[in-house]
């Protein structure tokens, strides 16, 4: 296995740190806009996903080829549960869909960083940042 940082422990810590920074950058914009989940939440989700993914490859994958896929499945299940708790129905409108989707995307970024696909994680964050610059028109209200 190739390590960007020498040694498996430092490599795992580095991956979690990179994911945390990327999550923080995406969440910071949400903090500034006053949304319920922001830099800390996005950073924790991205970092935790990177950590579990990297540990899965390092510790469990050499013993079982299915272990890494089970860890990925459980990350997505847990993040889906977390995101589901953020979706609220208020009368005829629904709030929190974008927040839940953002948390889901941060799990994907963290998993890509944890797998060693740094460029994928960074490019997804760039695309998400560019997507936030596009504001919905008057006929398409934002959900949160």
Q: Supply the pLDDT for residue 136.
A: 64
Using CB atoms within 10 A of its CB, is residue 32 exposed (0-12), middle (13-18) or buried (19+)? exposed
Q: Residue 62 and residue 24: Cα distance in Å, rounded?
A: 32
Q: What are phi and psi of 111, to 5 degrees?
A: -65, -35
Q: Supply the pLDDT for residue 91.
A: 82
Q: Supply the pLDDT for residue 89.
A: 80
Q: Supply the pLDDT for residue 88.
A: 82
Domain boundaries, the chain: 8-131
Buried b (16+ CB within 10 A) or exposed e, 46-66: bbbbbbbbbbbbbeebeeeee
The CB-side HSE value for 107 (13 A sphere, CA atoms) comes to 19
Q: Supply the pLDDT for residue 25.
A: 93
Q: Supply the pLDDT for residue 68.
A: 79
Q: How many CB atoms lie within 10 A of CB 35?
A: 17
Q: Residue 35 and residue 52: Cα distance in Å, rounded?
A: 27
Q: Residue 91 and residue 105: Cα distance in Å, rounded?
A: 27
- Residues in the chain predicted with pLDDT less than 50, given as ranges, are none
Strands (DSSP E) contained in the chain are: 88-90, 93-95
Q: Are 96 and 88 in contact (CB under 8 A)?
A: yes
Q: Residue 107 and residue 93: Cα distance in Å, rounded?
A: 26
């Amino acid at each position: 296995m190739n390590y960007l940082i020498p040694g498996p422990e430092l490599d795992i810590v580095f991956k979690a740190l990179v994911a945390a920074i990327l999550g923080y950058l995406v969440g910071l914009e949400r903090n500034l806009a006053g949304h319920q989940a922001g830099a800390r939440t996005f950073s924790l989700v991205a970092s935790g996903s990177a950590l579990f993914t990297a540990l899965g490859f390092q510790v469990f994958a050499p013993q079982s080829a299915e272990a890494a896929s089970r860890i990925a499945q459980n990350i997505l299940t847990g993040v889906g549960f977390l995101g589901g708790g953020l979706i609220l129905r208020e009368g005829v409108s629904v709030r929190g869909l974008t927040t839940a989707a953002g948390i889901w995307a941060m799990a994907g970024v963290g998993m890509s960083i944890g797998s060693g696909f740094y460029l994928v994680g960074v490019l997804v964050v760039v695309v998400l940042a560019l997507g936030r610059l596009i504001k919905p028109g008057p006929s398409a209200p934002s959900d949160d």
